[in-house]
């Protein structure tokens, strides 16, 4: 029997977060993140991440997430930590040193990582378009990328 051809995963286009109130969600996320609104309608708003986006969808009915979460990449995790603290959002246990996990007001579990310390890479063009062309990677993150043959050229 011939093996069925499979599609290869390339990336994530967007993450959808259900929230109770769209205006309140835009206000909350606007207090902790700098973002551009890609679009909006009566029940959804789209926060631009360059070549990706977060979809805030009004209508959350389930309780807080405990294990289920999504990982958000930021340019400065410590700035994010202070912003999250200032909102009174629940900061929950974080994996690894310097981790930051929190629950938004609707119970979405957000795990925050810093761009420089992980394998995830945006292209130069996307970073430039986002006004983030000066972001750098740690030596450890570059080593991990090199092991996979994915290190960005001429970047620190």
The answer as to whether 39 is a domain residue is yes
| Domain harbouring 43, CATH code | 3.10.180.10
Range of the domain at 95: 14-117
The answer as to whether 149 is a domain residue is no
Using CA atoms, how far apart are residues 122 and 85, in angstroms rounded to an integer?
A: 28
The answer as to whether 109 is a domain residue is yes
Q: Residue 16: which of 53, 42, 67 has the closest Cα?
A: 53
Q: What is the pLDDT of residue 156?
A: 44
Using CA atoms, how far apart are residues 52 and 12, in angstroms rounded to an integer?
A: 7
Whether 97 shows a pLDDT value over 80: the answer reads no
Summarize pLDDT for 30-88 with one digit per residue, the tens. 999 999 999 999 999 999 999 999 999 999 989 998 889 999 999 999 999 999 999 99
Name the pTM for this structure.
0.88
Quote the tokens at residue 28. Answer: 């909350």
Q: Based on the structure, what is the number of domains in the chain? A: 1
The answer as to whether 145 is a domain residue is no
């Amino acid at each position: 029997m011939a093996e069925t051809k499979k599609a290869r995963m390339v990336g994530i286009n967007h993450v959808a977060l259900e929230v109770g109130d769209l205006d309140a969600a835009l206000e909350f996320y606007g207090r902790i993140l700098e973002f551009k609104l890609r679009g909006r309608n009566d029940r959804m708003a789209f926060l631009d991440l360059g070549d990706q986006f977060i979809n805030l969808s009004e209508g959350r009915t389930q309780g807080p997430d405990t294990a289920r979460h999504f990982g958000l990449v930021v340019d400065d995790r410590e700035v994010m930590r202070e912003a999250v603290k200032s909102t009174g959002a629940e900061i929950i246990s974080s994996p690894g040193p310097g981790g930051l996990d929190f629950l938004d007001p609707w119970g979405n579990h957000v795990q925050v990582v810093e761009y420089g310390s992980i394998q995830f890479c945006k292209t130069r063009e996307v970073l430039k378009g986002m006004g983030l062309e000066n972001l750098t990677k740690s030596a450890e993150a570059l080593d991990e990328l090199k092991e996979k043959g994915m290190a960005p050229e001429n970047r620190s």
